[in-house]
Amino acid sequence: MEIKPLDFFIGMSLGLALGVGGTMLVSRIRGWLGRSEVGRLRSENRTLTRRLAEKDRHVGKMLAETQRLAERLGQKQGLSQAEDISLKKID
């Protein structure tokens, strides 16, 4: 079976046209879905969820730092009170 050059070029051009048309169609459909209210809200929800997780991590770090500082301050004040008691006994 012989493939004639005319048949080959018709097949190639038809395949090219279908490929370009399919690509454009998919591009348009994805564009419509991306601009739809549902797509926009999903994107916004993902963004807000990510930002909330970042804020939760930040608040957790700040609470841990505050607790650590409070413990250090409590230890220092505990030593100061012990020193005050010992000084009062000496007087």
Q: How confident is the model at residue 87 (pLDDT cuts 50, 70, 90)?
A: low
Determine whether 24 is exposed, middle or buried from the number of CB atoms within 10 Å of its CB (0-12, 13-18, 19+): exposed
Residue 27, pLDDT above cutoff 90: no
pLDDT digits (tens, 9 = 90+) for 41-57: 888 999 999 999 999 99
Decide if 38 contacts 32 (C-beta within 8 A).
no
Q: Tell me the HSE value of 7 on the side-chain side, using a 13 A CA sphere.
A: 4
pTM given for the model = 0.47
Indicate the residue type of 83: E
